[in-house]
Amino acid sequence: MKNRIISRIKSLSYKNDSPHFLLAVSGGIDSMVMLDFFVKNQSNLDCKISVCHINHNYHSKSLKMSKIVSNYCNKNNIEYSNVVLKKQVLNNNIESRLRKKRYNELEKIRKNISADYIVTAHHFDDQIETALMRILNSSSLDSIMGIKTLNNIIFRPLIDISKDEINSYAKKNKIIYGIDPTNNDISLTRNFLRKKVVPLLEKIKPNLAIPFKDLENKIDDVKDVIHFSTNQFMNSEYIKIDKEIIYIDKNYFLGLPFLMQVSILRIIASETKKFYFSKNLLRELKAFLRKNITGSTKIINNCIINIDREFIILRMSKENNNIYCKVGAGKKVDNDNFYFTWNYDKKPNRFSKDSSVEYVDASKFDKQLLIRSIDKNDKFTPLGMRGTKKVNDYLSDQKKSSILKSDILAICNNNDIVWVAGERINNKYRITKDSKVVAKLNFLRK
């Protein structure tokens, strides 16, 4: 036990030669054993120790357990923080809500004292209970063995240590600890599993840690394979990146195992913000990909996923992305995304085939034209047609994906669309033999 814990602690990386650990100590047997271990091995570990006790004020033994922690810290001259939370009545998600409050307070203390890590006393029996809970909740393979040794700044050096080993250490070293009465409340799922289910499993398999450790190792192997295969895919010919848009070969992608698809999409969707799939989102995503409806769109973590004819097209959505800008004759708009200018001109001798330039009848132009994003209800009469058509429908006819549509802008004269920029002018503004005032429009997408 000693060598395994010390080995885990020394495997950490930290800013200073001597790490600073903030130990989260409840006063129960697990955290008091952890605290005693750190104190007795502090010189070997060459570290600084601070302690934080969070009193949730939730059960009758709260004050007693606080005193157990404070007495130990005072006796051993350890820097100690005692956080007392306001008493609340909690009727549902009790464990989750208390845990969230606890970690929020621990992080405040960690930052205040400049500690490197928050250290908790989770052990392997907790891992078994968590695995059973995650299986019952239909959690993903990635999260079944969900308690990680190191999760950002949360460190769990006892995660490979069994409850029996902790009990033996407590007995041998005469550890004083309290018992949280809520641990006997079997209305809480974790307590029910611990009290009712795990003992029955241990009758079938006395050393229950062995098969669960084996399960953990096998899951890690599967994750390694998925990670390796995902990296290969991200560097393959089946994915292409054009500025901010990602094109994935649809037929190849949809032929991949679903776990691979999820892994690839997670990497892309986590580009700007770390992201995890919930079980409901996984179900929705699987249904979305299986239906394979051309033109359908799904947004995950601000990542727009569009199923096109040949590709799965992805792009990070941008908040407040709508364009709205008035431009006078001879003026220009020049930014990172596009260039636009217009001015009055003569009738051209011949019309250019360049889609970035258009000549239009400007006899009814206002002093300024408006360049703006396309609205879903926008209509115009495409050049050569008589009736009106929704811009969105026209772009669909031109085989524009929904992602590409979102980039297309309209050049407007008041409420009239003059030009779907780079695509088609409004027939109403075409140049005829009777046109007296002509304008030249220039639009270039960068």
pLDDT digits (tens, 9 = 90+) for 283-298: 899 999 999 998 888 8
The rounded percent of the chain whose pLDDT value lies above 90 is 58
Is the pLDDT at 80 greater than 60, yes or no?
Answer: yes
Q: Which two three-digit tokens encode residue 129?
A: 């209970």
Return the pLDDT at 52. Answer: 96
* pLDDT tens digits, one per residue of 105-163: 999 999 999 999 999 999 999 999 988 988 888 777 777 776 888 888 999 999 999 99
Annotation: CATH topology of 324-445: Phenylalanyl-tRNA Synthetase; Chain B, domain 3 (3.50.40)
Residue 272: what pLDDT? 60
pLDDT confidence of residue 90:
55
Give the span between the Cα atoms of 340 and 332, in whole angstroms: 6
Mention every residue, 6+ apart, whose C-beta is less than 8 A from residue 219: 141, 142, 144, 145
Query: Span 396-416, mean pLDDT?
Result: 87
Is the pLDDT higher at 127 or at 244? 127
Question: Where is 201: in which H helix or E strand?
Answer: helix 198-204
**Domain assignments of the chain as residue spans, ordered by start:** 2-204, 217-316, 324-445
Residues 371, 357: Cα–Cα separation, whole Å: 15
Helix%, strand%, coil% for the chain, nearest 5: 40, 25, 35
Q: Is the pLDDT of residue 402 over 80?
A: no
pLDDT surpasses 70 at 16:
no
Average of per-residue pLDDT across 301-315: 87
| Triad 35, 40, 43: Cα angle to 5° | 115
Question: Is the separation of the CB atoms in 360 and 438 below 8 Å?
Answer: yes
Compute the average pLDDT of residues 197-213: 90
Query: How far apart, in Å, are the Cα atoms of 331 and each of 10, 90, 175, 306?
Result: 64, 62, 80, 36
Quickly count helices (H) and strands (E) in the chain: 16, 22
How far apart CA 45 and CA 39 sit, in angstroms, is 10
The C-alpha atoms of residue 210 and residue 124 are separated, in whole angstroms, by 10
What mean pLDDT is predicted for residues 357-378? 93
- Kindly report, residue by residue over 263-279, the tens digit of the pLDDT: 999 888 876 666 667 77
Q: Which two tokens stand for residue 35?
A: 């605290």
User: 303-307 and 311-316: which strand pairing?
Assistant: antiparallel
For the chain, the average pLDDT equals: 89
Give the span between the Cα atoms of 320 and 47, in whole angstroms: 48
Q: What is the mean pLDDT of residues 395-411?
A: 85
CATH class entry, domain 2-204: alpha beta
Q: pLDDT digit string (tens) for 348-366?
A: 988 878 899 999 999 999 9
CATH architecture of the domain with range 217-316: 2-Layer Sandwich (3.30)
pLDDT in tens, 334-351: 988 899 999 999 999 888
Give me the pLDDT at residue 88, please.
64
* pLDDT in the model for residue 91: 60
Which position has the higher pLDDT, 139 or 165?
165
Cβ-based neighbour number of residue 159 at 10 Å = 22
pTM of the model: 0.64
Residue 382 DSSP code: B
